[in-house]
Chains A and B, each alone.
Chain A
Amino acid sequence: MVIIMKGIGAYRALLTAQPLQRKMSQLLRLIARSAVQRRGFCCSATLSRQVAIEEVGGKDVAVEGAGVYEHKIGKREIVGYGYNGLPNYMDRADFPFPAIRFREETQEIKKLREKEKGDWKKLTLEEKKALYRASFCQTFAEMHAPTGEWRTIVAGTLLGFSVAVWLVIYIKKFVYPPPPHTITREYQEKELKRMIAQGQGPVEGISSKYDYQKGDWK
């Protein structure tokens, strides 16, 4: 439930639009005013790009990205929209460019950024990699590297199978009563003889398959 709007102009416009919803406008103004007082209207260029309406405690409240999310992202620079408009980082192949840089700016990175403004041919491979790692956590190769998790899955599945087998054995041994005497081979042979002697199923049943003249199956 988030709308991101670009530009501090949009932020101002949003604030002036508030009296239309009386009930929440007071709350909203209160929060907006405190945000304005805290940060001043002239925010730095990078941070002013993020203005969000976020659901806070069931109410829609206008918040400014950087001030509110500082406890989550620290001083990491907000650089884009990301995949859902919130300042968060995730390595995703379908959204390769997250909303924030992965690392906070250190002195070394600051120096590199200055050098980055010049000719890129002068950057060494190490510097290029350092710049990459300052903005991103994992490369695509690392994102898609096999995790070995399949082993756990196979092991878990086999474990499930063996538990089931042992359960069947246990139930057969200790839960079910012994099988009835009618299930033995001798009893069933006697039963067959009796059925033939009685002539059961003379049309299509068992006796129709028996030749009483020969005394054997047809």
Chain B
Amino acid sequence: MFRAVVSRATSVLKPAALVHSKRVPAVVSSVRYSHGKKETDQEFDQRYEEYFNRRDIDGWEIRKALNDLQGHDLVPEPKIVIAILKACRRLNDYSLTTRYLEALKNKCGSHEKQIWPYIVQEIRPTLDELGISLPEELGYYKPELALKSVYDMHG
């Protein structure tokens, strides 16, 4: 029954999806309908950069795209990071920048010593321009608060 509902729903939603794709042409169309075509690194970078540079990007979309980007086996180019930071600025959500920079640093993994300083050096002008602090500057390089264990919460 679930499958039936899904197939009905998708057939009905198709027009809605088409309307929607006008808003996000780059991401949706090239990913969903490109079976077999391999995306080059440049295209990947461009796709994400353009997506984050969209003027009408909203909080739902940026969070989804950031989560997706975090799922890839790569550290995004500084130009994508800059586009992300500017998108956060347009959305007036400061917490996203700190959270994303933390996630980005985490993404560097064992190569953090080589990659992270390079990214910071590249995005520094944007950070200064927008008034964004690095997680380190907020003191988030080490644990600040401890969580109470869930086993100790009641009783």
Contacts and interface: CB of A to CB of B under 8 A. Distances in A.
B78 interface: no
Contacts of B5: 21, 24, 53, 60
Given A14-B9, A93-B103, A119-B131, A141 B141 contact: yes
A74 B98 CA distance: 25
Contacts of A142: 143-147
A113 B5 CA distance: 41
A32 B130 CA distance: 44
Given A17-B12, A120-B130, A132 B106 contact: no
Interface string A1-25: 1010111011001101100110010
B134 to A, nearest CB: 11
Nearest to A99: B63
A129 B2 contact: no
Contacts of B95: 131-132, 134-136
Interface in B57-71: 59-60, 63-64, 66-67, 70-71
From DSSP, what is the main secondary structure of chain A's interface residues? mixed
Interface stretch (B29-37, B38-46, B47-55, B86-94): B86-94
Contacts of A53: 2, 5-6, 9
A202 interface: no
B8 interface: yes
Contacts of B63: 79-81, 97
A186 interface: no
20 contacts: A6-B20, A7-B20, A14-B12, A20-B4, A49-B60, A53-B2, A53-B9, A79-B59, A80-B64, A81-B63, A93-B103, A94-B71, A96-B67, A96-B99, A117-B92, A135-B96, A136-B99, A141-B140, A141-B144, A142-B147
Given A79-B60, A145-B143, A60 B99 contact: no
B122 interface: no
| Most chain A CB atoms below 10 A, which of B105, B137, B145 | B145
Interface of B: 1-2, 4-6, 8-9, 11-13, 16, 19-20, 59-60, 63-64, 66-67, 70-71, 89, 92-96, 98-100, 102-103, 105-106, 130-133, 135, 137-147
Interface of A: 1, 3, 5-7, 9-10, 13-14, 16-17, 20-21, 24, 49, 53, 55, 59-60, 79-83, 93-97, 113, 116-117, 119-123, 125, 128-129, 131-132, 134-142, 144-145
Interface hub of A5, A53, A141 (most chain B Cβ within 10 A): A141
A81 B59 CA distance: 10
B105 A3 contact: no
B103 A81 contact: no
A123 B94 contact: yes
B6 to A, nearest CB: 7
A116 B93 contact: yes
A139 B135 contact: yes
A119 B8 CA distance: 48
A24 B9 contact: no
A137 B4 CA distance: 39
Nearest to B64: A81
